[in-house]
Structure formats: C-alpha cells, structure tokens
C-alpha cells in the first residue's frame, strides 16, 4: 500500500512537470492545485458526501457547487472587472456536453487553420481556470469557455457571441461520473453516488435543468447566441461546423468544413489531441473516453431510469428542447 502511494506520487509529480513545460498557459492553475494539496485543501473547500460512501471536493459560491479551481473564487469577486472585447466568443454549457469539441471547432474557424491546437481549452476557461489578468493578455479573437450558471457569468459578455451546447442529461451524467472517477486526486465516487448528486442538483455546477433553463431563457431571443446539441454534432458534424461558421461570420470553403469535421472527429481527437496528463489517474481514459450517444443504457438501472424520466418529463415542460437519448 505504501509502495503504491509512493509510486502514484512520483508518477503525478513527473506528469505535472511535463504539463508545466508543455502547457505554459496552465502554470498558474497547476501551481495553485499543488499549493492546495500541500496545504491539505483550502479553507473554502468542502467535502460533499454522495450518500453512497463517495466524497467530492467542492467549492460553494452563492450556493452553487463548483470544482475547487484555485483562482475561481477570486475571479468571481472581480467578475465585473472583466473587459469585454467586440470579437469575443464564448462556449457555455453544463459539464460534459462537448466543450472541448466545440472549442476546437471554433478555434479552427476563427484562425482559418484546420489543425488541432497545441493548447487546451482549460487555458481559456474563465472564470474557473485562468485568471482575470490572463484573459487580458489573450490575443483576439478570444475563444473563452465556461460551465458556470448564468448568475455567475459576466453580464457584460452577453454582447459577445455565445454558443451554448447541450447534451442529453443521461449521457452527461455518465460522463460526469467517469470524469470524477478518473481524476488523480480528491474524489472518491461511485456511479450510484454520482446519480444521486446529479438528480439532487448537488453535482459540480448545480442542477442540469436549472442550468439549461436559465441560460436558454437569456439566450433564446439573443441574436448573438447559438444553441447546438451534442447529438446533432454526432449525427452530422460538418453540418454543425458550417452552422457555427455562418453564425460567427467565419464562412469558409466546403473543403475547410470537411477538414475540420475530420480533425474534430472523436476518434482523431482522442488519438491526437493533447490532454492535461497530471489531471488523471493511471487507469483513466482522460478527457476523451467514448463520446457516444446512448452510453447511459450501460449504467442506468431500471429504477434509476424511471426516476430520471419522471424528473425529466416534469422539468422539461419549461424547456423548449428536443434532445436525443440514442441514435
């Protein structure tokens, strides 16, 4: 047991050094996490119990459960100081709903270069991962991303282009489970516990239905907003790439759309895209696991499915979305 702990420690240290060297934009965040671990967490970090023996480290801000990013609370205190630029692009969603995927698409469209970025989207994740000062140093057009509910979002940024991606909540729930389970530190979770946290609105970033409903109410009549579903991207990625390009005003050739769709296919992203190596346990598949539609059927019990369907049918009465749970 002691040998296993020592082995895991040195593996994590080695991978952190690699990340610090290859992903310089993440250095403040990585050093912040190292400081948290050395100090045994943080004064504002709580251990949330999932009712099934699992524990998730959580930072609460205005009642919203959030992941314990080192600069998150400080960024939210200064959120009104965020300086909006006219060409900013935001990708917003509840976690595990295609953020990395859409970020890569938008980066290719905005740059006019069909190639995967050496950087990772976490480096442009505000207010979670990068600092306010880091956003000011970014070159335009900035492609920013966040999972925060609307009440924590910088309101001045509503003048920017916003792409809100939505994934069916059953698959998002399963993906959230694997994300938490695969992290290298601080979370001990089970599928049953994750299901309870999600259905009770206690998972990171809060209730899925509240998140989607609040954002859609704000964005539905906003000409600067586009709603894209994860399932539509899975069915016809090129079509959605073209749709996003036209929305952003970055109209490109059909060949360019073909190239983007090929490079951003899940298989290619999983194979070629750089990930934060130190974030994951040895057994984890990392950020790119399956990327399928309908994987929830391998996890939901009959009782869980019935419970979730009852919640979904009741809560979706106020949400004008037709989501697909299988293809």
Residues taking part in catalysis: 147
On whether the CB atoms of residues 179 and 106 are closer than 8 A, the answer is: no
On whether the CB atoms of residues 216 and 320 are closer than 8 A, the answer is: yes
DSSP of 89-127: EEEE-SSSSSHHHHHHHHHHHHHT--S--SS-GGGGBTT
DSSP of 38-97: HTTS-TTEEEEE-SSS-EEEEEEETTEEE---TTHHHHHHTGGG----TT-EEEE-SSSS
On whether the CB atoms of residues 112 and 39 are closer than 8 A, the answer is: no
DSSP state at residue 280: B
Task: Show the tokens assigned to 149.
Answer: 């509910």
On whether the CB atoms of residues 144 and 82 are closer than 8 A, the answer is: no
Task: Show the tokens assigned to 7.
Answer: 């082995």
On whether the CB atoms of residues 274 and 120 are closer than 8 A, the answer is: yes
């Amino acid at each position: 047991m002691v040998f296993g702990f020592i082995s895991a420690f040195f593996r994590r240290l080695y991978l952190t050094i690699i990340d610090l060297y290859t992903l310089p934009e993440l250095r403040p965040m990585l050093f912040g996490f190292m400081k948290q671990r050395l100090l045994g967490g943080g004064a504002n970090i709580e251990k949330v119990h999932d009712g099934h023996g699992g524990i998730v480290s959580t930072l609460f801000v205005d009642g919203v459960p959030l992941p314990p990013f080192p600069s998150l609370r400080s960024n939210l205190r200064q959120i009104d100081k965020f300086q909006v630029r006219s060409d900013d692009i935001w990708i917003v969603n509840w976690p595990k709903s295609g953020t990395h995927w859409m970020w890569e698409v938008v980066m290719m469209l905005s740059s006019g270069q069909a190639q995967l970025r050496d950087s990772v989207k976490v480096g442009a994740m505000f207010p979670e991962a990068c600092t306010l000062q880091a956003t000011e140093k970014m070159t335009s057009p900035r492609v920013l991303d966040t999972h925060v509910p609307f009440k924590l979002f910088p309101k001045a940024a509503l003048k920017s282009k916003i792409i809100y991606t939505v994934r069916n909540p059953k698959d998002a729930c399963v993906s959230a489970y694997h994300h938490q389970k695969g992290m290298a530190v601080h979370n001990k979770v089970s599928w049953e516990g994750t299901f309870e946290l999600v259905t009770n609105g206690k998972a990171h970033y809060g209730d899925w239905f509240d998140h989607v409903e609040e954002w859609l109410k704000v964005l539905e009549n906003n000409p600067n907003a586009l709603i894209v579903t994860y399932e539509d991207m899975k069915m016809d990625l090129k079509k959605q790439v073209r749709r996003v390009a036209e929305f952003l005003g970055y109209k490109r050739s059909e060949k360019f759309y073909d190239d983007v769709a090929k490079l951003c296919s899940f298989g290619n992203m999983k194979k070629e895209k750089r990930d934060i190596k130190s974030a994951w346990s040895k057994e984890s598949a990392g950020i790119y696991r399956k990327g399928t539609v309908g994987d929830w059927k391998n996890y939901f019990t009959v009782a869980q499915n019935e419970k979730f369907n009852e919640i979904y049918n009741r809560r979706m009465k106020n949400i004008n979305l037709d989501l697909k749970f299988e293809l």
